[in-house]
Chains A and B, each alone.
Chain A
Amino acid sequence: MRRILIFLVIIGAVFLFAQDVLAGGGGPPKNMLKGFFEKVNPDGTAVFLVDTTGERKILVLPKDMKPEDVPMDRKVLVSLVTEGHGHKITNKIKSVSIMFIDLPTSKVIALLVVGLIGGLLSGFIGSGGAFVLTPAMMSLGAPGAVAVASNMCHKFPKAMVGAYKRWKYGQADIKLGVFMAVTAIVGVQIGIQIQKYILDHWGNAGSNLYVSLMFVIVLVVVGAYVFYDAYKLSKGGKEAETTKLAKKLQSINLPPMIHFKTAGIRISAWFTIPVGVATGMLAATIAVGGFIGVPGLIYVIGASAVVASATELVIAFCMGMWGSIQWGLSGLIDIRLTLLILAASLIGVQLGALGTTYVKDYMIKIVMGAVMLIVAVSRGAKIPGYLADLGLRPPLDPSTTSFLNSVSFWALVAALGTAGIIISAAMIRGMLQARAEGS
Protein backbone atom coordinates (compact mmCIF):
# COMPACT_ATOMS: atom_id res chain seq x y z
CA MET A 1 0.00 0.00 0.00
CA ARG A 2 2.83 2.39 0.97
CA ARG A 3 4.62 1.75 -2.33
CA ILE A 4 1.44 2.55 -4.25
CA LEU A 5 0.97 5.80 -2.31
CA ILE A 6 4.58 6.83 -3.05
CA PHE A 7 4.04 6.00 -6.70
CA LEU A 8 0.87 8.10 -6.85
CA VAL A 9 2.72 11.02 -5.24
CA ILE A 10 5.44 10.73 -7.94
CA ILE A 11 2.81 10.68 -10.67
CA GLY A 12 1.07 13.68 -9.08
CA ALA A 13 4.38 15.57 -8.95
CA VAL A 14 5.04 14.73 -12.64
CA PHE A 15 1.58 16.00 -13.45
CA LEU A 16 2.12 19.29 -11.61
CA PHE A 17 5.53 19.65 -13.24
CA ALA A 18 4.00 18.95 -16.64
CA GLN A 19 1.36 21.59 -15.97
CA ASP A 20 4.00 24.17 -15.09
CA VAL A 21 6.32 23.35 -17.95
CA LEU A 22 3.60 22.97 -20.48
CA ALA A 23 1.60 25.89 -19.10
CA GLY A 24 -1.38 27.19 -20.92
CA GLY A 25 -2.72 23.83 -22.03
CA GLY A 26 -6.41 22.99 -22.06
CA GLY A 27 -9.53 25.02 -22.51
CA PRO A 28 -10.70 27.06 -25.44
CA PRO A 29 -8.68 29.03 -28.02
CA LYS A 30 -7.20 32.30 -26.76
CA ASN A 31 -8.14 34.43 -29.79
CA MET A 32 -11.81 34.16 -28.94
CA LEU A 33 -14.11 36.54 -27.06
CA LYS A 34 -17.45 35.75 -25.48
CA GLY A 35 -20.10 38.35 -24.72
CA PHE A 36 -22.43 40.87 -26.35
CA PHE A 37 -22.20 43.57 -29.02
CA GLU A 38 -23.38 46.84 -27.44
CA LYS A 39 -23.08 49.34 -30.28
CA VAL A 40 -21.99 49.52 -33.91
CA ASN A 41 -20.08 52.72 -34.77
CA PRO A 42 -20.28 54.49 -38.16
CA ASP A 43 -16.52 54.04 -38.66
CA GLY A 44 -16.87 50.28 -39.11
CA THR A 45 -16.09 49.31 -35.52
CA ALA A 46 -18.26 47.86 -32.75
CA VAL A 47 -18.23 48.04 -28.95
CA PHE A 48 -18.08 44.55 -27.44
CA LEU A 49 -18.79 43.69 -23.79
CA VAL A 50 -16.80 40.67 -22.58
CA ASP A 51 -19.23 38.91 -20.23
CA THR A 52 -16.67 37.18 -17.97
CA THR A 53 -14.64 40.32 -17.14
CA GLY A 54 -17.07 43.18 -17.83
CA GLU A 55 -14.36 44.74 -20.03
CA ARG A 56 -15.37 46.66 -23.18
CA LYS A 57 -13.37 46.24 -26.40
CA ILE A 58 -13.45 48.01 -29.75
CA LEU A 59 -13.57 45.46 -32.56
CA VAL A 60 -13.09 46.15 -36.28
CA LEU A 61 -15.81 44.68 -38.49
CA PRO A 62 -14.63 42.77 -41.58
CA LYS A 63 -15.35 44.40 -44.95
CA ASP A 64 -18.10 41.98 -45.88
CA MET A 65 -19.99 42.48 -42.59
CA LYS A 66 -22.74 45.11 -42.63
CA PRO A 67 -23.83 46.87 -39.38
CA GLU A 68 -27.25 45.15 -39.59
CA ASP A 69 -25.49 41.74 -39.68
CA VAL A 70 -24.12 42.29 -36.16
CA PRO A 71 -26.30 40.33 -33.68
CA MET A 72 -27.04 42.87 -30.93
CA ASP A 73 -29.19 41.06 -28.39
CA ARG A 74 -27.61 37.61 -28.20
CA LYS A 75 -24.54 36.14 -26.54
CA VAL A 76 -21.94 35.48 -29.21
CA LEU A 77 -18.49 33.99 -29.68
CA VAL A 78 -16.20 36.21 -31.71
CA SER A 79 -13.05 34.84 -33.25
CA LEU A 80 -10.41 37.53 -33.79
CA VAL A 81 -7.33 38.34 -35.82
CA THR A 82 -5.02 40.63 -33.83
CA GLU A 83 -2.90 43.01 -35.88
CA GLY A 84 -0.21 45.57 -34.98
CA HIS A 85 2.10 46.03 -31.94
CA GLY A 86 2.18 47.99 -28.66
CA HIS A 87 -0.55 50.63 -28.43
CA LYS A 88 -1.62 50.18 -32.05
CA ILE A 89 -3.17 46.76 -31.68
CA THR A 90 -6.41 46.27 -33.57
CA ASN A 91 -8.77 43.39 -33.02
CA LYS A 92 -10.34 42.48 -36.32
CA ILE A 93 -13.38 40.19 -36.33
CA LYS A 94 -12.79 36.96 -38.22
CA SER A 95 -16.15 35.32 -37.53
CA VAL A 96 -19.15 35.70 -35.22
CA SER A 97 -21.16 32.70 -33.96
CA ILE A 98 -24.36 32.81 -31.95
CA MET A 99 -23.53 30.95 -28.75
CA PHE A 100 -26.93 29.43 -28.01
CA ILE A 101 -28.55 27.84 -31.05
CA ASP A 102 -32.34 27.76 -31.37
CA LEU A 103 -33.71 24.35 -30.46
CA PRO A 104 -36.82 23.47 -32.45
CA THR A 105 -38.37 20.01 -31.93
CA SER A 106 -36.47 18.51 -34.89
CA LYS A 107 -33.10 19.43 -33.34
CA VAL A 108 -34.19 18.13 -29.92
CA ILE A 109 -35.18 14.79 -31.48
CA ALA A 110 -31.86 14.63 -33.37
CA LEU A 111 -29.94 15.19 -30.11
CA LEU A 112 -31.98 12.52 -28.30
CA VAL A 113 -31.44 9.92 -31.05
CA VAL A 114 -27.68 10.57 -31.30
CA GLY A 115 -27.47 10.61 -27.49
CA LEU A 116 -29.25 7.26 -27.16
CA ILE A 117 -27.06 5.41 -29.69
CA GLY A 118 -23.89 7.21 -28.50
CA GLY A 119 -24.73 6.11 -24.95
CA LEU A 120 -25.36 2.53 -26.08
CA LEU A 121 -21.96 2.46 -27.76
CA SER A 122 -20.27 3.98 -24.72
CA GLY A 123 -21.81 1.50 -22.31
CA PHE A 124 -20.79 -1.40 -24.57
CA ILE A 125 -17.25 -0.56 -25.73
CA GLY A 126 -16.34 2.00 -23.05
CA SER A 127 -15.85 4.92 -25.41
CA GLY A 128 -17.26 6.45 -28.51
CA GLY A 129 -20.09 8.83 -28.90
CA ALA A 130 -17.84 11.89 -28.80
CA PHE A 131 -16.62 11.29 -32.36
CA VAL A 132 -20.18 11.69 -33.60
CA LEU A 133 -21.77 13.93 -30.94
CA THR A 134 -19.43 16.89 -31.47
CA PRO A 135 -19.84 16.94 -35.30
CA ALA A 136 -23.59 16.39 -34.83
CA MET A 137 -23.90 19.43 -32.55
CA MET A 138 -21.83 21.48 -34.98
CA SER A 139 -24.00 20.46 -37.90
CA LEU A 140 -27.02 21.65 -35.87
CA GLY A 141 -25.33 25.07 -35.73
CA ALA A 142 -23.44 25.08 -32.40
CA PRO A 143 -20.01 26.78 -32.53
CA GLY A 144 -17.14 24.25 -32.42
CA ALA A 145 -15.87 25.26 -28.96
CA VAL A 146 -19.40 25.10 -27.46
CA ALA A 147 -19.99 21.69 -29.09
CA VAL A 148 -16.74 20.29 -27.63
CA ALA A 149 -17.43 21.81 -24.18
CA SER A 150 -21.07 20.66 -24.01
CA ASN A 151 -20.11 17.17 -25.17
CA MET A 152 -17.37 16.96 -22.54
CA CYS A 153 -19.85 17.96 -19.81
CA HIS A 154 -22.20 15.18 -20.93
CA LYS A 155 -19.38 12.63 -21.12
CA PHE A 156 -18.42 12.44 -17.46
CA PRO A 157 -21.89 11.86 -15.91
CA LYS A 158 -22.65 9.30 -18.64
CA ALA A 159 -19.33 7.54 -17.99
CA MET A 160 -19.99 7.66 -14.23
CA VAL A 161 -23.36 5.91 -14.59
CA GLY A 162 -21.88 3.38 -17.05
CA ALA A 163 -18.85 2.71 -14.84
CA TYR A 164 -21.08 2.23 -11.78
CA LYS A 165 -23.26 -0.28 -13.62
CA ARG A 166 -20.30 -2.24 -14.95
CA TRP A 167 -18.61 -2.15 -11.54
CA LYS A 168 -21.77 -3.74 -10.15
CA TYR A 169 -21.49 -6.47 -12.80
CA GLY A 170 -17.92 -7.08 -11.56
CA GLN A 171 -16.31 -5.78 -14.78
CA ALA A 172 -14.80 -2.35 -14.00
CA ASP A 173 -11.39 -2.21 -12.30
CA ILE A 174 -11.58 1.12 -10.46
CA LYS A 175 -7.92 1.04 -9.34
CA LEU A 176 -6.67 0.39 -12.88
CA GLY A 177 -8.99 3.11 -14.20
CA VAL A 178 -7.72 5.74 -11.73
CA PHE A 179 -4.07 4.83 -12.45
CA MET A 180 -4.66 5.16 -16.17
CA ALA A 181 -6.61 8.42 -15.80
CA VAL A 182 -3.83 10.15 -13.84
CA THR A 183 -1.26 9.33 -16.53
CA ALA A 184 -3.76 10.13 -19.28
CA ILE A 185 -4.08 13.68 -17.94
CA VAL A 186 -0.31 14.08 -18.43
CA GLY A 187 -0.80 12.71 -21.97
CA VAL A 188 -3.52 15.30 -22.62
CA GLN A 189 -1.08 18.10 -21.69
CA ILE A 190 1.57 16.71 -24.05
CA GLY A 191 -1.02 16.27 -26.82
CA ILE A 192 -2.18 19.88 -26.44
CA GLN A 193 1.40 21.17 -26.69
CA ILE A 194 2.02 19.17 -29.89
CA GLN A 195 -1.19 20.66 -31.29
CA LYS A 196 -0.09 24.17 -30.36
CA TYR A 197 3.35 23.65 -31.93
CA ILE A 198 1.75 22.51 -35.18
CA LEU A 199 -0.78 25.35 -35.08
CA ASP A 200 2.02 27.92 -34.60
CA HIS A 201 4.16 26.51 -37.43
CA TRP A 202 1.66 25.31 -40.03
CA GLY A 203 -1.55 27.16 -39.09
CA ASN A 204 -5.08 25.84 -38.97
CA ALA A 205 -4.81 23.75 -42.15
CA GLY A 206 -1.65 22.05 -40.81
CA SER A 207 -3.38 21.32 -37.51
CA ASN A 208 -6.42 19.88 -39.30
CA LEU A 209 -4.19 17.70 -41.47
CA TYR A 210 -2.24 16.44 -38.42
CA VAL A 211 -5.45 15.59 -36.54
CA SER A 212 -6.92 13.80 -39.56
CA LEU A 213 -3.73 11.86 -40.29
CA MET A 214 -3.46 10.76 -36.66
CA PHE A 215 -7.12 9.77 -36.73
CA VAL A 216 -6.76 7.69 -39.91
CA ILE A 217 -3.43 6.03 -39.02
CA VAL A 218 -4.43 5.09 -35.45
CA LEU A 219 -7.93 4.02 -36.37
CA VAL A 220 -6.93 1.95 -39.41
CA VAL A 221 -3.95 0.21 -37.76
CA VAL A 222 -5.50 -0.42 -34.33
CA GLY A 223 -9.05 -0.89 -35.67
CA ALA A 224 -7.93 -3.46 -38.26
CA TYR A 225 -5.96 -5.40 -35.61
CA VAL A 226 -8.89 -5.41 -33.16
CA PHE A 227 -11.24 -6.48 -35.95
CA TYR A 228 -8.87 -9.25 -37.13
CA ASP A 229 -8.48 -10.53 -33.57
CA ALA A 230 -12.26 -10.55 -33.07
CA TYR A 231 -12.76 -12.33 -36.42
CA LYS A 232 -10.26 -15.06 -35.43
CA LEU A 233 -11.97 -15.56 -32.07
CA SER A 234 -15.44 -15.71 -33.60
CA LYS A 235 -14.32 -18.32 -36.18
CA GLY A 236 -12.25 -20.43 -33.82
CA GLY A 237 -14.83 -20.42 -31.03
CA LYS A 238 -11.96 -20.13 -28.51
CA GLU A 239 -11.82 -17.79 -25.52
CA ALA A 240 -9.54 -14.76 -25.90
CA GLU A 241 -6.01 -15.33 -24.59
CA THR A 242 -3.63 -12.82 -23.03
CA THR A 243 -1.19 -11.57 -25.68
CA LYS A 244 2.49 -12.56 -25.60
CA LEU A 245 3.44 -8.91 -25.08
CA ALA A 246 1.16 -8.58 -22.04
CA LYS A 247 2.45 -11.89 -20.59
CA LYS A 248 6.06 -10.73 -21.04
CA LEU A 249 5.37 -7.33 -19.41
CA GLN A 250 3.53 -8.97 -16.51
CA SER A 251 6.55 -11.24 -15.90
CA ILE A 252 8.98 -8.31 -15.50
CA ASN A 253 9.40 -7.51 -11.81
CA LEU A 254 9.97 -3.75 -11.84
CA PRO A 255 8.76 -2.07 -8.61
CA PRO A 256 6.19 -0.89 -7.84
CA MET A 257 4.31 -4.00 -8.90
CA ILE A 258 0.57 -3.47 -8.62
CA HIS A 259 -2.16 -6.03 -8.37
CA PHE A 260 -5.34 -5.07 -10.18
CA LYS A 261 -7.87 -7.42 -8.60
CA THR A 262 -10.87 -7.18 -10.94
CA ALA A 263 -8.68 -7.36 -14.06
CA GLY A 264 -6.74 -10.24 -12.45
CA ILE A 265 -3.41 -8.69 -13.42
CA ARG A 266 -0.15 -8.06 -11.56
CA ILE A 267 2.02 -5.67 -13.54
CA SER A 268 4.62 -2.95 -12.97
CA ALA A 269 3.07 0.52 -12.74
CA TRP A 270 5.69 1.70 -15.23
CA PHE A 271 4.04 -0.33 -18.00
CA THR A 272 0.63 1.21 -17.40
CA ILE A 273 2.10 4.71 -17.87
CA PRO A 274 2.78 4.59 -21.65
CA VAL A 275 -0.74 3.27 -22.30
CA GLY A 276 -2.24 6.01 -20.12
CA VAL A 277 -0.13 8.75 -21.73
CA ALA A 278 -1.00 7.52 -25.24
CA THR A 279 -4.71 7.49 -24.29
CA GLY A 280 -4.47 11.08 -23.08
CA MET A 281 -2.50 12.22 -26.13
CA LEU A 282 -5.08 10.72 -28.44
CA ALA A 283 -7.90 12.22 -26.37
CA ALA A 284 -6.29 15.67 -26.80
CA THR A 285 -5.81 15.09 -30.53
CA ILE A 286 -8.93 13.34 -31.76
CA ALA A 287 -11.16 13.59 -28.65
CA VAL A 288 -11.65 9.81 -28.44
CA GLY A 289 -8.91 8.46 -26.15
CA GLY A 290 -10.74 5.16 -25.75
CA PHE A 291 -9.79 4.10 -29.26
CA ILE A 292 -6.25 3.60 -27.96
CA GLY A 293 -7.06 3.11 -24.25
CA VAL A 294 -9.21 -0.01 -24.66
CA PRO A 295 -6.89 -1.82 -27.15
CA GLY A 296 -3.93 -0.76 -24.94
CA LEU A 297 -5.55 -2.31 -21.86
CA ILE A 298 -6.30 -5.50 -23.81
CA TYR A 299 -3.11 -6.08 -25.81
CA VAL A 300 -0.42 -4.34 -23.69
CA ILE A 301 -1.68 -4.64 -20.11
CA GLY A 302 -3.47 -7.95 -20.62
CA ALA A 303 -7.06 -7.22 -19.50
CA SER A 304 -10.04 -8.94 -21.12
CA ALA A 305 -12.17 -6.89 -23.56
CA VAL A 306 -15.02 -6.80 -21.01
CA VAL A 307 -12.79 -5.49 -18.21
CA ALA A 308 -10.93 -3.09 -20.55
CA SER A 309 -14.10 -1.49 -21.92
CA ALA A 310 -15.57 -1.19 -18.41
CA THR A 311 -12.35 0.31 -17.01
CA GLU A 312 -12.24 2.80 -19.88
CA LEU A 313 -15.49 4.25 -18.49
CA VAL A 314 -13.69 4.99 -15.20
CA ILE A 315 -10.93 6.76 -17.19
CA ALA A 316 -13.55 8.66 -19.23
CA PHE A 317 -15.26 9.81 -16.02
CA CYS A 318 -12.03 11.16 -14.48
CA MET A 319 -10.86 12.85 -17.67
CA GLY A 320 -14.32 14.13 -18.58
CA MET A 321 -14.76 15.72 -15.14
CA TRP A 322 -11.36 17.40 -15.37
CA GLY A 323 -12.08 18.60 -18.92
CA SER A 324 -15.56 19.88 -18.02
CA ILE A 325 -14.18 22.00 -15.18
CA GLN A 326 -11.66 23.49 -17.64
CA TRP A 327 -14.34 24.32 -20.23
CA GLY A 328 -16.69 25.58 -17.50
CA LEU A 329 -13.99 27.99 -16.29
CA SER A 330 -14.15 29.55 -19.76
CA GLY A 331 -17.97 29.56 -19.68
CA LEU A 332 -18.44 27.64 -22.92
CA ILE A 333 -20.78 24.83 -21.82
CA ASP A 334 -24.30 25.05 -23.24
CA ILE A 335 -26.08 23.10 -20.51
CA ARG A 336 -29.23 22.73 -22.66
CA LEU A 337 -27.32 20.61 -25.18
CA THR A 338 -25.64 18.66 -22.37
CA LEU A 339 -28.93 17.86 -20.63
CA LEU A 340 -30.80 16.95 -23.82
CA ILE A 341 -28.12 14.45 -24.80
CA LEU A 342 -27.99 13.10 -21.24
CA ALA A 343 -31.78 12.52 -21.26
CA ALA A 344 -31.27 9.71 -23.78
CA SER A 345 -27.63 8.72 -23.26
CA LEU A 346 -28.17 7.79 -19.58
CA ILE A 347 -30.67 5.19 -20.83
CA GLY A 348 -28.37 4.13 -23.70
CA VAL A 349 -25.28 3.73 -21.53
CA GLN A 350 -27.09 1.43 -19.07
CA LEU A 351 -28.55 -0.59 -21.92
CA GLY A 352 -25.07 -0.97 -23.45
CA ALA A 353 -23.58 -1.88 -20.05
CA LEU A 354 -26.09 -4.63 -19.34
CA GLY A 355 -25.72 -5.80 -22.94
CA THR A 356 -22.12 -6.80 -22.21
CA THR A 357 -23.37 -9.43 -19.75
CA TYR A 358 -25.16 -11.29 -22.58
CA VAL A 359 -22.42 -11.36 -25.24
CA LYS A 360 -19.08 -13.10 -25.69
CA ASP A 361 -15.89 -11.09 -25.15
CA TYR A 362 -15.08 -10.88 -28.88
CA MET A 363 -18.38 -9.10 -29.65
CA ILE A 364 -16.99 -5.98 -27.93
CA LYS A 365 -13.93 -6.20 -30.19
CA ILE A 366 -16.09 -6.60 -33.32
CA VAL A 367 -18.10 -3.46 -32.52
CA MET A 368 -14.97 -1.50 -31.61
CA GLY A 369 -13.04 -2.57 -34.74
CA ALA A 370 -15.99 -1.88 -37.05
CA VAL A 371 -16.64 1.58 -35.57
CA MET A 372 -12.95 2.53 -35.75
CA LEU A 373 -12.62 1.52 -39.41
CA ILE A 374 -15.79 3.35 -40.52
CA VAL A 375 -14.83 6.50 -38.57
CA ALA A 376 -11.41 6.35 -40.29
CA VAL A 377 -13.22 6.63 -43.66
CA SER A 378 -15.08 9.69 -42.38
CA ARG A 379 -11.88 11.44 -41.38
CA GLY A 380 -9.92 10.21 -44.41
CA ALA A 381 -12.42 11.95 -46.70
CA LYS A 382 -11.34 15.28 -45.19
CA ILE A 383 -7.63 14.82 -45.97
CA PRO A 384 -7.65 15.92 -49.68
CA GLY A 385 -9.24 19.24 -48.66
CA TYR A 386 -6.60 19.89 -45.97
CA LEU A 387 -3.78 18.97 -48.40
CA ALA A 388 -5.22 21.52 -50.83
CA ASP A 389 -5.41 24.16 -48.05
CA LEU A 390 -1.68 23.63 -47.41
CA GLY A 391 -0.90 23.91 -51.13
CA LEU A 392 0.33 20.30 -51.25
CA ARG A 393 -2.10 19.44 -54.03
CA PRO A 394 -4.22 21.42 -56.54
CA PRO A 395 -7.41 22.97 -55.11
CA LEU A 396 -10.50 20.77 -55.15
CA ASP A 397 -13.46 21.76 -57.30
CA PRO A 398 -16.67 22.55 -55.35
CA SER A 399 -18.47 19.37 -56.43
CA THR A 400 -15.59 17.18 -55.13
CA THR A 401 -15.52 19.11 -51.84
CA SER A 402 -19.26 18.68 -51.43
CA PHE A 403 -19.01 14.94 -52.28
CA LEU A 404 -16.18 14.38 -49.76
CA ASN A 405 -18.09 16.27 -47.06
CA SER A 406 -21.12 14.05 -47.65
CA VAL A 407 -18.92 10.92 -47.47
CA SER A 408 -17.45 12.18 -44.19
CA PHE A 409 -20.86 12.93 -42.64
CA TRP A 410 -22.61 9.76 -43.78
CA ALA A 411 -19.68 7.59 -42.69
CA LEU A 412 -20.21 8.88 -39.14
CA VAL A 413 -23.93 8.12 -39.37
CA ALA A 414 -23.04 4.66 -40.74
CA ALA A 415 -20.58 4.05 -37.86
CA LEU A 416 -23.24 4.88 -35.30
CA GLY A 417 -25.94 2.94 -37.14
CA THR A 418 -23.73 -0.14 -37.57
CA ALA A 419 -22.77 -0.10 -33.89
CA GLY A 420 -26.41 0.30 -32.85
CA ILE A 421 -27.50 -2.62 -35.02
CA ILE A 422 -24.66 -5.01 -34.01
CA ILE A 423 -25.08 -4.26 -30.28
CA SER A 424 -28.89 -4.54 -30.35
CA ALA A 425 -28.83 -7.78 -32.37
CA ALA A 426 -26.17 -9.37 -30.12
CA MET A 427 -28.03 -8.29 -26.99
CA ILE A 428 -31.42 -9.55 -28.14
CA ARG A 429 -29.88 -12.88 -29.21
CA GLY A 430 -28.11 -13.19 -25.85
CA MET A 431 -31.27 -12.36 -23.90
CA LEU A 432 -33.40 -14.85 -25.83
CA GLN A 433 -30.74 -17.52 -25.34
CA ALA A 434 -30.53 -16.77 -21.60
CA ARG A 435 -34.32 -16.99 -21.27
CA ALA A 436 -34.43 -20.26 -23.21
CA GLU A 437 -31.72 -21.72 -20.96
CA GLY A 438 -33.50 -20.44 -17.84
CA SER A 439 -36.91 -21.89 -18.74
Chain B
Amino acid sequence: MKKQKSKGPLFIKTMVFGAMSGALYYLVFSNVDWVTKTYTMGGWHTVYPVGTALVFSFIHGAFASNLLALLGIEAKGSH
Protein backbone atom coordinates (compact mmCIF):
# COMPACT_ATOMS: atom_id res chain seq x y z
CA MET B 1 0.00 0.00 0.00
CA LYS B 2 1.25 3.44 -0.90
CA LYS B 3 2.20 5.77 1.90
CA GLN B 4 -0.08 8.83 2.07
CA LYS B 5 1.90 11.95 1.18
CA SER B 6 1.94 14.71 3.80
CA LYS B 7 0.06 17.81 2.66
CA GLY B 8 2.04 20.15 4.94
CA PRO B 9 4.91 21.09 2.56
CA LEU B 10 2.43 21.25 -0.32
CA PHE B 11 0.29 23.70 1.61
CA ILE B 12 3.31 25.91 2.35
CA LYS B 13 4.42 25.82 -1.31
CA THR B 14 0.90 26.71 -2.46
CA MET B 15 0.73 29.63 -0.03
CA VAL B 16 4.20 30.92 -1.00
CA PHE B 17 3.53 30.78 -4.77
CA GLY B 18 -0.01 32.14 -4.20
CA ALA B 19 1.36 35.10 -2.25
CA MET B 20 4.02 35.74 -4.92
CA SER B 21 1.43 35.55 -7.69
CA GLY B 22 -0.96 37.83 -5.78
CA ALA B 23 1.87 40.32 -5.18
CA LEU B 24 2.74 40.34 -8.90
CA TYR B 25 -0.90 40.92 -9.90
CA TYR B 26 -1.11 43.72 -7.31
CA LEU B 27 2.11 45.26 -8.63
CA VAL B 28 0.81 45.36 -12.22
CA PHE B 29 -2.74 46.50 -11.49
CA SER B 30 -1.73 49.16 -8.94
CA ASN B 31 0.62 50.71 -11.53
CA VAL B 32 -1.69 50.14 -14.46
CA ASP B 33 -1.19 53.59 -16.04
CA TRP B 34 2.60 53.21 -16.22
CA VAL B 35 2.32 49.57 -17.29
CA THR B 36 -0.16 50.12 -20.14
CA LYS B 37 1.80 53.15 -21.38
CA THR B 38 5.25 51.52 -21.29
CA TYR B 39 4.22 48.07 -22.50
CA THR B 40 2.62 49.45 -25.66
CA MET B 41 5.48 51.68 -26.80
CA GLY B 42 6.48 49.12 -29.45
CA GLY B 43 10.02 48.24 -30.63
CA TRP B 44 12.31 46.83 -27.95
CA HIS B 45 9.52 47.42 -25.38
CA THR B 46 8.16 44.07 -26.61
CA VAL B 47 10.35 42.50 -23.90
CA TYR B 48 7.99 43.92 -21.26
CA PRO B 49 4.75 42.08 -22.20
CA VAL B 50 6.56 38.92 -23.36
CA GLY B 51 8.79 38.84 -20.25
CA THR B 52 5.88 39.57 -17.91
CA ALA B 53 3.79 36.79 -19.45
CA LEU B 54 6.72 34.39 -18.94
CA VAL B 55 7.30 35.40 -15.30
CA PHE B 56 3.57 35.04 -14.53
CA SER B 57 3.45 31.65 -16.19
CA PHE B 58 6.22 30.35 -13.91
CA ILE B 59 4.92 31.85 -10.66
CA HIS B 60 1.17 31.59 -11.22
CA GLY B 61 1.60 28.27 -13.05
CA ALA B 62 3.47 26.83 -10.03
CA PHE B 63 0.74 28.14 -7.74
CA ALA B 64 -1.98 26.54 -9.89
CA SER B 65 -0.08 23.22 -10.02
CA ASN B 66 0.35 23.11 -6.23
CA LEU B 67 -3.25 24.20 -5.64
CA LEU B 68 -4.60 21.36 -7.79
CA ALA B 69 -2.32 18.86 -6.01
CA LEU B 70 -3.45 20.22 -2.62
CA LEU B 71 -7.07 19.70 -3.67
CA GLY B 72 -6.19 16.10 -4.53
CA ILE B 73 -6.59 16.63 -8.29
CA GLU B 74 -3.54 14.90 -9.76
CA ALA B 75 -2.64 12.90 -12.85
CA LYS B 76 -3.37 9.16 -12.87
CA GLY B 77 -0.59 7.26 -11.17
CA SER B 78 0.81 10.23 -9.23
CA HIS B 79 -1.35 9.74 -6.11
Which positions in A face B, CB cutoff 8 Å? 34, 51-52, 75, 99-100, 153-154, 156-158, 160-161, 165, 169, 321, 324-325, 327-336, 338-339, 342-343, 346-347, 350-351, 353-354, 357-358, 430-431, 434, 438
Contacts and interface: CB of A to CB of B under 8 A. Distances in A.
A324 B29 contact: no
A342 B49 CA distance: 13
A158 B57 contact: yes
Interface of A is mostly: helix
Interface string B60-73: 11001101100001
Nearest to A356: B75
Nearest to B59: A346
Interface in B14-57: 25, 28-29, 32, 35-37, 39-43, 45-50, 52-54, 56-57
A336 B32 contact: yes
A347 B17 CA distance: 13
Contact of A75 (B28, B40, B61): B40
Interface of B: 25, 28-29, 32, 35-37, 39-43, 45-50, 52-54, 56-57, 60-61, 64-65, 67-68, 73-77, 79
Contacts of A153: 49-50, 53
A151 to B, nearest CB: 12
Contacts of B36: 75, 100, 334-336
Given A321-B50, A342-B53, A357-B77, A331 B41 contact: yes
Nearest to A164: B61
18 contacts: A34-B40, A75-B40, A154-B53, A157-B57, A165-B75, A169-B75, A324-B53, A331-B45, A333-B49, A336-B32, A336-B35, A339-B52, A343-B25, A346-B56, A353-B75, A354-B75, A431-B73, A434-B76
A147 B61 CA distance: 23
Given A161-B61, A333-B49, A347-B64, A342 B56 contact: yes
Contacts of B74: 354
A331 B32 contact: no
A325 B61 contact: no
B68 A350 contact: yes
B59 to A, nearest CB: 10
- Pairs of residues from A and B, 4 with the lowest C-beta to C-beta distance, nearest first: A328-B46, A157-B57, A331-B42, A52-B42
